[in-house]
A and B are shown apart, each in its own frame.
Chain A
Amino acid sequence: DVKVTQSSRYLVKRTGEKVFLECVQDMDHENMFWYRQDPGLGLRLIYFSYDVKMKEKGDIPEGYSVSREKKERFSLILESASTNQTSMYLCASSLAASGLRGQETQYFGPGTRLLVL
């Protein structure tokens, strides 16, 4: 059974702080993703990674960066947190190399609810 874990369920940070959100998957998946989930806006992709040290911008990368030093771990970094980054952050992983059908199912972590004051 695929397990995706996120380091915190709830976080409260102050404006301007540097924030690290960690995600770990235990199924040797190639791809990892960071989304934010907001009411009425659905899931929006921030960044994804298809291999160690590789990253691609998603739809809303501004104000965020990522790090993938090990295959199982994908970190989301808020360089200087702002109140408009208050959100639920979801991490996901999938097995697929690009174009391989049947392996694109994404498995999600429980989410981190971040409040920036």
Chain B
Amino acid sequence: AQRVTQPEKLLSVFKGAPVELKCNYSYSGSPELFWYVQYSRQRLQLLLRHISRESIKGFTADLNKGETSFHLKKPFAQEEDSAMYYCALYTGAGSYQLTFGKGTKLSVIP
């Protein structure tokens, strides 16, 4: 069965510092990976997906199949980046589901 691991429950960084939220997955096929974000008092929403290869709000994530990782990065953290971040995996193999990690709470210190 597939699994998504986010090793950090909480990550605190200073404003302007680089950010890396870690995500590792286990799945033998070709997954699609996503990052979802939940800002305070807002609904959970898609931040980015690996197939789009895009940068959203300065965040990027590269799928590394060799290391089975999909870390989320931003070179300079902003206070408004403080939120809960979830990594998610979609197998597409007869499945309708996303498998979510347990989430990392990012706190950006002013």
> What secondary structure prevails in chain B residues at the interface with A?
loop
**A96–B43 contact, CB under 8 A?**
no
**Identity of the chain B residue whose Cβ is nearest the Cβ of A42 in the assembled complex:** B102
**B51–A99 contact, CB under 8 A?**
no
**B32–A104 contact, CB under 8 A?**
yes
Q: Which of A61-69, A77-85, A105-113 is the contact stretch?
A: A105-113
**A99–B94 contact, CB under 8 A?**
yes
A102 to B103, CA, bound (A): 23
**Identity of the chain A residue whose Cβ is nearest the Cβ of B90 in the assembled complex:** A104
CB distance from B85 to the nearest CB of A (A): 11
A75 to B18, CA, bound (A): 42
Number of B interface residues at 8 Å Cβ cutoff, please give it. Answer: 23
**A99–B102 contact, CB under 8 A?**
no
- The answer to the question of A89 belonging to the interface, with a C-beta cut-off of 8 Å to chain B, is no
In this complex, the interface size class of chain A, counting residues with CB under 8 Å from chain B, is 20 to 34
Q: Which residues of A (18-62) have their CB < 8 Å from a CB of B? A: 31, 33, 40-43, 45, 48, 50, 56, 58
A residues whose Cβ falls under 8 Å from a Cβ of B: 4, 31, 33, 40-43, 45, 48, 50, 56, 58, 90, 92, 94, 96, 98-102, 104-111
B residues whose Cβ falls under 8 Å from a Cβ of A: 6, 9, 32, 34, 43-46, 49, 51, 86, 90, 92-98, 100-103
Known: A42-B86, A43-B44. 20 other contacts (CB 8 A): A4-B43, A31-B96, A40-B9, A40-B102, A42-B6, A42-B100, A42-B102, A42-B103, A43-B86, A43-B100, A48-B97, A94-B96, A99-B94, A104-B32, A104-B98, A105-B46, A106-B98, A107-B45, A108-B44, A111-B43
